[in-house]
């Protein structure tokens, strides 16, 4: 396979790192381009050995997949810039939040188009990715795309409209967990721990809990840790009193709604 990444930000880098690290793709099978940041392209070339798209952009015509990995506001300009170079067998895969398949096809025509929402854990092969595709994506192309995305983590096929929820949970989710981890570290420091010890304990707690979540029901795990009138019950009560579940719901819904807004802005 050959892939051209149009856009060279953190998401593109995470996916490139995952593909190469998992040996799903060779560096020479991946090419990168962006609108103006040559230094960024040089960095990716030096760091991972990927190709920089040449001036005549011949790589676009040879690509099996074109990855649109720029900000939503830049998608239209990018598509206009590459449209004439595309061939009929190419699948366009967008990871730009909110930009619909219809919007992309308005600029490129009846090409095979898919939308994916990975997260930056792709870098370590642990992304939670949602994907949806247009009617022009063949069964073989679907299989290849799922294989490609599976190499950087788990893949869930959804209807396109459900990608807003996927964005709210999985696409943005790592940042929520990082913020929660930051808050736990600060609470540990406030209760007498050193910063180093608090970080060590929080990292291991997250690591162990994440492993347990793969094995058993979430609610059952919580109940098993929570002894009546014990320390965990006291801590959870503070979360209940502050309506933690509503806060989390608002967090996810706000991200999902922003995804919907972005889609309307670029229709």
**Annotated binding residue 256:** no
What count of residues does the chain have?
Answer: 267
27 is in an annotated binding site: no
Count of CB atoms situated within 10 Å of the CB of 119:
25
- Is residue 99 classed exposed, middle or buried when 0-12, 13-18 and 19+ CB atoms within 10 A define those classes? buried
Number of helices (H), then strands (E), belonging to the chain: the values are 12, 8
C-alpha torsion 74→76→78→84, nearest 10: 180
Strand pairing partners for 112? 91
Under 8 Å between Cβ of 162 and 130: yes
CB 208 within 8 A of CB 225: no
223 annotated as ligand-binding: no
d(CA 35, CA 5): 12
- As annotated, the binding site for NADP(+) includes 69-72
- As annotated, the binding site includes 69-72
């Amino acid at each position: 396979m050959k892939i051209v990444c149009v856009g060279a930000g953190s998401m593109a880098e995470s996916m490139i790192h995952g593909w190469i690290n998992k040996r799903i793709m060779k560096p020479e099978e991946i090419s990168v381009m962006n609108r103006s940041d040559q230094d960024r392209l040089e960095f990716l070339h030096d760091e991972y050995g990927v190709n920089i798209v040449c001036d005549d952009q011949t790589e676009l015509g040879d690509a099996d997949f074109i990855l649109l990995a720029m900000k939503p506001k830049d998608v239209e300009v990018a598509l206009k810039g590459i449209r004439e170079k595309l061939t009929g067998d190419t699948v366009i895969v967008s990871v730009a939040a909110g930009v619909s398949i219809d919007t992309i096809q308005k600029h490129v025509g009846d090409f095979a188009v898919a939308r994916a929402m990975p997260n930056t854990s792709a870098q370590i092969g642990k992304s939670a990715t949602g994907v949806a595709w247009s009617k022009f994506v063949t069964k073989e192309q679907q299989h290849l795309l799922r294989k490609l995305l599976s190499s950087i983590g788990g893949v869930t096929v959804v209807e396109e409209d459900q990608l807003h929820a996927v964005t709210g949970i999985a696409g943005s989710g790592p940042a929520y967990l990082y913020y929660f981890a930051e808050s736990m570290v600060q609470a540990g420091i406030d209760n007498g721990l050193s910063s180093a010890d608090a970080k060590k304990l929080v990292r291991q707690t997250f690591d162990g809990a994440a492993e347990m979540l793969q094995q058993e029901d979430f609610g059952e795990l919580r109940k098993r840790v929570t002894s009546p009138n014990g320390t965990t019950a006291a801590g959870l009560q503070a979360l209940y009193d502050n309506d933690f579940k509503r806060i989390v719901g608002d967090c996810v819904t706000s991200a999902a709604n922003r995804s919907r807004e972005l889609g309307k802005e670029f229709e």
